[in-house]
Structure 1
């Protein structure tokens, strides 16, 4: 008889703490980088380029990162990634050499952390099934996703407090967290068995092949991508707060935190009651609720109501993340988890970036409120289309008994 799942026992504890430390460290560093850059350059363009500098390497290295994670122990790859993050944070604590612009140093740190970001999804996709039993993956996903959401939520608050003391204090805090994360990754076990490996171009695009063949995985990722692309109301929060609700920066801070609070609350619930049955229906329903709540948020003129709606949006999104992450890990062959995780990361990163651009463009064309309302309505419509076109996703029931095409044909 196997022992019941516990988040504070065995290798999973290290995985959970690793995710928390790495997420919080990344949030501290990202906050300090952005504010420091704007203070020294005073250029909104420089600030925009900072995001591009981080996005390009994360996209360029995504597929190679998936191959490396599948070939070597994901814990060792995670340790190296966290050490590179630590080097980037540590470099910002050193005096800037004469004749070198601080802006270039900040961009170099952003470039390094953007490269390590490419490894995030492959590592965590491969790690969880290697440290917990298959029947516990869904619950483990909820624990790991919740701690990441907590880090995302409190990171800017802690980063602001540390940066107020001095930028070096924020960079030092990030450095310490990255070192702890690297030490935790070093304690994770290596591979217990040698997995079959592909070679050449077939290996590079194996993750894409799995998702293309598996309509459940492909449908789930397409659903998430469309929801983020079309329903990205959070990208317009500064405009919404100032021009629609007519509130100040303090209220804007609460609006930004509200989705994270809702996500953490639902995430804690899912650690005890993970979605295990009728997962396709629940995934489609949660995404439709996400779109409908976005429409309601766009129409709201009350700060308390808007806060509640944003928290509910974050909760609905958490259900979607929980199911999609569990599907990716359970339906993917062990030797391909890194590469499928890399493709999933590309979907998420691209949709976040392009979704923010789409929201800004539609707000410029139609106005802030119509952009939010139209985006939410389009999300609901997209759910209906995918539900009709991707029947295997709609019919998926027990999350622990589904088997991917790739596994069936091995």
Structure 2
């Protein structure tokens, strides 16, 4: 009998999954930073907009990416719980690869316009909404439950390290030629598809509840709404990042406040991920074991305070350091929330609950961009960032009162009802 693995990296399928996630996120983050810069730069240079007007275009960019996410999230979650999850992830990455190729072609041909950029950004959002639930639901099926917190930390390292490298590489490639980031992204997505192919098939268990697909899609939302712990954990991230996110304003800070161009923008987009990757590495080495819920709440409060410091900084080096701290605080919150959400959800619901969680993350990011753009149009970019950071601190305190279940989460141990469900799934028919 072979020895039980002590690390997810000892499992071949997880190693392939880890690399696929790394390449897919590396491609996506490289695209995201360039799309944002192209929207802002096109608005300023080709349309003659002011800083506030062009900042509003960044907000609208977030909105057009969020609309398909909001509409298709129930479908994506149902798809991840109905079909082979690896196939869904590969198909979604294939669609995103075609979007990257198209962006490369229109950039190379110099036919960019705001409507075209918004349309392609929306298609990019469609691909992402199907990638998230399917990829998230794979990991719990290829590692033992006791290794899942470590697997989530290692998966976060893949995500965060790609988030570090993607924007930086995208910025430098854009400086060499504007189309290069998109050519590179399409190649990386192809690599992700090929890496997922040999991973063992991940078939979801049979769905329980109502047999109609529409009702099955709604079941994910209903399940989260009825479980206060999941509802509190997911909405905490939603509102904190929705109000406190500063990343939407980074093109403004790079171009017109810190004056560091696309190269500096790439470094600024990557700085939070450096702090997050270091924090994730710490958790992979020494996972959290005690008082995980209260630590998540304190991390959100720290996220808000650090956001305020970034908003008032006028020094590029200091801004990079503060952004790295911001990423570390965010990683602590994400690590705890992701682990708790996965371990508090039965396997037959993981795709749909992951879709709800993904919708919250996307809402916090994309709608956060819209909120930041609107706030910047009223308060200016610095005022918008500072006000958003203060709002995130308030959210952390308010959620500790509204959802005391979060404070009572002491460890990552699954609740009894999830353990009982897992035992039932393992029993032969």
TM class by smaller structure: 0.7 to 0.9
Aligned to 1:75: 86
Structure 2 counterpart SS, 1:203? helix
Aligned to 1:282: 295
Distance 2:264 2:368 in 1: 24
Which of the residues 375, 387, 392 maps onto 1:379? 392
Q: 1:298 to 1:159 in 2, by over 3 A?
A: closer
Q: Tell me by how many angstroms 1:160 deviates.
A: 3.5
Aligned to 1:189: 200
| Structure 1 position 16 matched with structure 2 position 18 | yes
Distance 1:14 1:115 in 2: 24
The answer (yes or no) to whether the contact 2:90–2:193 under 8 Å persists in 1 is: yes
Q: Tell me by how many angstroms 1:238 deviates.
A: 4.8
Aligned to 1:54: 65
Aligned to 1:337: 350
Q: Tell me by how many angstroms 1:6 deviates.
A: 3.7
Structure 2 counterpart SS, 1:284? helix
Distance 1:47 1:17 in 2: 31
| Structure 1 position 356 matched with structure 2 position 358 | no
The answer (yes or no) to whether the contact 2:23–2:192 under 8 Å persists in 1 is: yes
Q: 1:314 to 1:93 in 2, by over 3 A?
A: closer
Distance 1:74 1:136 in 2: 20
TM-score normalised by L of structure 2: 0.82
| Structure 1 position 272 matched with structure 2 position 280 | no
Q: Tell me by how many angstroms 1:108 deviates.
A: 5.9
Matches within 5 A, 1:162-311: 162-167=173-178, 169-191=180-202, 194-198=205-209, 199-200=211-212, 201-239=214-252, 247-249=259-261, 253-300=266-313, 302-311=315-324
Distance 1:46 1:127 in 2: 36
Stretch deviating more after TM superposition (367-376 or 22-31): 367-376
Unaligned runs of 5+ in 1: none
Q: Tell me by how many angstroms 1:161 deviates.
A: 3.6
**CA displacement 1:38-76 (0-9 Å, x = unmatched):** 669934698776555433323322110110110112111
Structure 2 counterpart SS, 1:342? helix
Distance 2:402 2:192 in 1: 42
Aligned to 1:159: 170
Q: 1:372 to 1:107 in 2, by over 3 A?
A: closer
CA RMSD of aligned residues (A): 3.4
| Structure 1 position 146 matched with structure 2 position 148 | no
Which of the residues 34, 40, 46 maps onto 1:42? 46
**CA displacement 1:115-158 (0-9 Å, x = unmatched):** 11111221132111001111111111111122112222221332
Q: Tell me by how many angstroms 1:303 deviates.
A: 4.5
Distance 2:25 2:288 in 1: 24
Aligned to 2:51: none
**CA displacement 1:261-310 (0-9 Å, x = unmatched):** 21111111111122232111111111112122233444545544433322
Aligned residue pairs, count: 406
Stretch deviating more after TM superposition (288-297 or 12-21): 288-297
Which of the residues 314, 332, 335 maps onto 1:319? 332
Stretch deviating more after TM superposition (369-378 or 62-71): 369-378
Distance 1:291 1:223 in 2: 13
Structure 2 counterpart SS, 1:372? helix
Aligned to 2:50: none
Aligned to 2:141: 130
Which of the residues 306, 313, 328 maps onto 2:341? 328
